[in-house]
Amino acid sequence: MKYWLLIASVIVVATAHGGHEHDHSHTDHNDGHLRAVVKLQEPQGDKVHGKVTFTQQPDGKVHIEGLIVGMPPGHYGFHIYEKGDITEGCSSNGGHFNPENKEHGHPNDENRHAGDLGNVVFDENHVSKVDFWDNVIKLSGPHSIIGRAIVLHSMADDYGKTEHPDSKKTGNAGHHVACGVIGYL
């Protein structure tokens, strides 16, 4: 009986595709923009969570927008990491995405990691309305963030501007609170 169920499942899957071609460019067929999304959450809980979308414009700029909830009011580091590995919570994703081997910096600095997105701000209702633009990250090519993790930190990013030993490497933004893997929308 199990054998026949397996055969039937294979037939259903094989015929469902129907041999149709599928466009894997992941652009919105209405406007040509590349789009991606990430669902953030705590590895051990659900207090901090959210959804952020990335939309690459024809000129290459990426619009980053979304909603994250659950952190006390304040500023918190928000970075893209080199790996999309979240098998060990938010700690198995390597370092900040840095394909050009630069120092940590502010999102507007020329010398910055590609993954340095700065801080997100949570209001008195424990909500962060994410809405900003970035000129460095991309949704395709060598600076592509697809398949990489994004991490919300426990402290504000100091943009590599302090004397703390971690400032030039991580922005001294504290431990990883929530994360997720970025994928095409």
Is residue 128 within 8 Å of 51, Cβ to Cβ? no
Beta strand extents in 82-185 (DSSP E only): 116-122, 127-134, 149-153, 176-181, 183-184
Give the pLDDT band of residue 7 (cuts 50, 70, 90).
Answer: very low
Q: Convert 34-56 to b/e letters by CB count within 10 Å (16 or more is b).
A: bbbebbbbbeeeeebbbebebbb
Give per-residue pLDDT as tens, 149-166. 999 999 998 888 999 988
| Residue type present at position 168 | K
Alpha carbons 156 and 79: distance in angstroms, whole number: 11
User: Each residue of 69-93: pLDDT tens digit?
Assistant: 999 999 999 999 999 999 998 989 9
The secondary structure of 137-153 as a DSSP string is -BSSSTTB-TT-EEEEE
- pLDDT for 17 equals 36
Residue 150: C-alpha distances to residues 18, 82, 105 (Å): 36, 9, 17
Which tens digit of pLDDT belongs to each residue from 23-64? 334 444 446 789 999 999 999 888 999 999 999 999 999 999
Q: Which CATH architecture has domain 23-184?
A: Sandwich (2.60)
